[in-house]
Amino acid sequence: MLSPARHEKISSVELPSLNALRAFEAAARHLSLTLAGRELHVTQSAVSHQVQNLEDELGVELFRRLPRSLRLTPAGEALAAAAREAFDRIEDATRGVDRRPARLCVSVLPSFGARWLLPRLKRFRASWPRLELRIHASREPCDFARDGVDVAIRYGRGGWKGLRSEELFSEEIFPVCSPRMARSLRSPADLRRQVLLHDEVRAAHGGWAEWLRAAGAAEVDARRGTIFTDAHLMLQAAADGQGVALARSALAAGDLAAGRLVRPYECAVPTRYRYFLVCPPAHAQRPEVRAFRDFLRAEVARQARRPRKPIRSNGSSTARGLP
């Protein structure tokens, strides 16, 4: 319980509205009223109104309103730093007395979640057995505030505005097929007689046309075959012998290690996209987010140490792709 003197000291200070400070801190962090509104589940105009009330109450301008952006004034920078520190301390103190299990929501592409994350997730759960873990699987980028997401694994070029991102790893593309089908593939030109399976990931790579050019088999019609909007289904079709898939290395690694899929050719082409761990800056120092980041780093290092499985030899020098 606070002493009378301490209580009088607190009561004598006219503090601004906590809601106004929260709106200002979010707007200062994003330098956007719209993004602040999304985080706080309110409209852009509501954030603007709260910030304006705070400026009126303090008698000082906190932002300079530019035509397409916001810029903090010196007073705004000072208050934003103090507000951020205060909210961080309140959050830390709340976590210290909160006896509910920690919670973590991870957003991930369904194909990456099924083929890369899920087989490894048991090691993370072993370290955090009481964690309430939620996997948010979606092909669309999540809205962290609206969807209640703490951290996301995204596939792209990086540089998402207003978010902290850390590159996890890059990957490459190459053909894969069932072991039985591989016996009929001696050179890339043999793909003319096979069904080509396509992964519909626009802009991530140049697809079959790019790989066939790199392998010296540009005469093969790269447009033939079946297109899948989900890479997980495409790789399952390849394992079932329904065709030859152009696989992304991260997604095919498990089936290659188990022998369900094989690589008939050595030629591989780097993708334009990479995998990133992404979260709002305010989430980055949460203990469960830091633990998940450390887990991913360890898994990426484990993946890099794993010996590469030899390319299946079929007795043909041309079948190994580029020299």
Taking the C-alpha atoms of residue 195 and residue 224, their distance in angstroms, rounded to an integer, is 7
The CATH number of 172-271+312-320, from 3.40.640.10, 3.40.50.300, 3.20.20.70, 3.40.190.10, is 3.40.190.10
229 vs 308, residue with greater confidence: 229
Superfamily of the domain at 103-170+273-305: Periplasmic binding protein-like II (3.40.190.10)
By the 8 A CB rule, do 231 and 271 touch? no
Which has the closest alpha carbon to 133: 102, 95, 100?
102
Question: In the predicted model, what is the mean pLDDT of residues 301-315?
Answer: 68
Q: Is the pTM of this model over 0.75?
A: no
What CATH number was assigned to the domain covering residues 15-97?
A: 1.10.10.10
pLDDT of 44 higher than 70: yes
DSSP codes of every residue in 192-250: GGS-EEEE--TTT--HHHHHHHHTT-TTS-TT-SEEES-HHHHHHHHHTTS-EEEEEHH
By the 8 A CB rule, do 250 and 274 touch? no
Answer whether 103-170+273-305 and 172-271+312-320 agree in fold. yes
- Model pLDDT, residue 95: 66
Joined together, the tokens standing for residue 261 give 């899929």
DSSP code, position 276: E
**All structural domains of the chain with their residue ranges:** 15-97, 103-170+273-305, 172-271+312-320
Other beta carbons less than 10 A from residue 6's beta carbon: 10
pLDDT of 310 higher than 70: no
